[in-house]
Amino acid sequence: MTNNAAQRIVPDDELDELIDGLRQPEMMISPKYFYDERGSQLFDEITRLPEYYPTETELGIMRDNIGEMASLVGKQASLIEFGSGSSLKTRILLEHLDELAAYVPVDISEDHLLQSARQIREDFPDLDVLPVVADFTQPFQLPTPEVMPVRNVVYFPGSTIGNFTHDAAHELLLVMHEEAGAGGALLIGVDLQKDPEIIERAYNDSAGLTAEFNRNMLRHLNREFGADFDLDAFAHSAEYNEEEGRVEIRLVSEQDQEFTLGDESFSIGKDEAILTEYSHKYTLDGFAAMAEAAGFRVERVWMDDERLFSVQYLVRL
Ligand code: AVJ
């Protein structure tokens, strides 16, 4: 590159990981590449769509049960959020928790993390806000709050757990178990299995925002990794796989074509696809079994009347 624009340093291991995904029997790209600036904006818009039930439903569950949630978390807990925590759900929680020892948002994206930590500090001036830049799928060192916490409560909203395969979700629960420590707990949003039509509608919205969100991943890779995807040559697909209990989101190639990433070139045939996301949906029993295997017991489950979504309080065994 000979222009003098600021360059983002692309870590080799990120590029290697992307190339490795594209060399799999079914090409795949991690859903983390959805979230550049435009992707985060699009996701925000998705959460306000009438078809996309998870966000509004989870918010309603939080609002309706916040008193009970606060009493389970108790006084002087340290709230450790996996993810940067700029959401409305986090704010509802912070407004109602009593005398928190600390709020510890954990995220890999430093800019985003520090920006949302600053906002939280502004709105909750008495709160000890201790952001940690880390990949939360790996164990990390917790900061030491000024006030010694009575317990650690990990918060993981949004059914982000759904992005993980069952093996990876198990591993992540083990990390949460470790970070929660003795006497600790986990407050987690888990999307539930239901009528497949309701699920498929949420990922195939009539405004086409989810399709745009999906294709935007390619725009992101073009910009940040110098790839040369033709966005118009890929179609959005989101199907609920009932046996696996998950939505499978893909970009389907509309023609035989080639693209390059780094120094590698790839060919993809017409109707072949790149897998961009899994969104797993759980049964209450299925999730409880997975939680138990990772050393948690389900203490309380809150749901909406239609049982679309759950928020669960798990205690560490
Ligand atoms: C952020 C992973 C919870 O799985 O519903 C929304 C992402 N993808 N529409 C989900 C998403 C397409 C979302 N999660």
Nearest CA to ligand 1 atom 3: 160
Strands (E), 214-287: 234-241, 246-253, 257-261, 264-268, 273-280
How remote is the CA of residue 125 from the centroid of ligand 1, in Å?
32
How remote is the CA of residue 287 from the centroid of ligand 1, in Å?
18
Under 8 Å between Cβ of 86 and 118: no
How remote is the CA of residue 197 from the centroid of ligand 1, in Å?
16
Under 8 Å between Cβ of 251 and 229: no
Q: List the chain pLDDT tens, one digit each, 317 residues.
A: 434 444 445 567 899 999 999 999 999 999 999 999 999 999 999 999 999 999 999 999 999 999 999 999 999 999 999 998 778 999 999 999 989 999 999 998 888 899 999 999 999 999 999 999 999 999 999 999 999 999 999 999 999 999 999 999 999 999 999 999 999 999 999 999 999 999 999 999 999 999 999 999 999 999 999 999 999 999 999 999 999 999 999 999 999 999 999 899 999 999 999 999 999 999 999 999 999 999 999 999 999 999 999 999 999 99
By most ligand atoms within 8 Å of CB, the mutation choice from 29, 34, 43 for ligand 1 is: 43
Atom of ligand 1 lying closest to residue 277 CA: 8
Residues 184, 296: Cα–Cα separation, whole Å: 10
Under 8 Å between Cβ of 19 and 265: no
Tell me how crowded residue 67 is: count the other CB atoms within 10 A of its CB.
9
How remote is the CA of residue 32 from the centroid of ligand 1, in Å?
11
Atom of ligand 1 lying closest to residue 47 CA: 6
User: What pLDDT does residue 9 have?
Assistant: 55
User: What pLDDT does residue 12 have?
Assistant: 75
Count of residues making up the chain: 317
Residues framing ligand 1 (Cβ under 6 A): 46, 54, 158-160, 162-163, 203, 210, 277, 279
Nearest CA to ligand 1 atom 4: 279
Atom of ligand 1 lying closest to residue 238 CA: 12
User: Tokens 């502004």 identify what position?
Assistant: 122
Query: With the CA atoms of 250, 195, 186 and 128 taken in that order, what torsion angle do they form, in degrees rounded to the nearest 10?
Result: 70
How remote is the CA of residue 279 from the centroid of ligand 1, in Å?
6
User: What pLDDT does residue 316 have?
Assistant: 97
Residue 223 has, within 13 A of its CA and on its CB side, a CA count of: 15
Q: Which pairs count as long-range contacts for 299-302, CB under 8 Å and 24+ apart, including other chains? A: 299/72, 299/185, 300/68, 300/72, 302/61, 302/64, 302/65, 302/68, 302/69
Atom of ligand 1 lying closest to residue 279 CA: 4
Reading the block at residue 48, the tokens are 């306000």
Nearest CA to ligand 1 atom 14: 160
Nearest CA to ligand 1 atom 1: 160
How remote is the CA of residue 237 from the centroid of ligand 1, in Å?
14
pTM metric for this prediction: 0.94
How remote is the CA of residue 284 from the centroid of ligand 1, in Å?
20
Radius of gyration for the chain, computed over Cα atoms and rounded to the nearest angstrom = 20
Nearest CA to ligand 1 atom 5: 279
How remote is the CA of residue 170 from the centroid of ligand 1, in Å?
19
How many helices and strands, by DSSP H and E, does the chain display? 9, 13
Reading the block at residue 125, the tokens are 């001036």
How remote is the CA of residue 69 from the centroid of ligand 1, in Å?
24
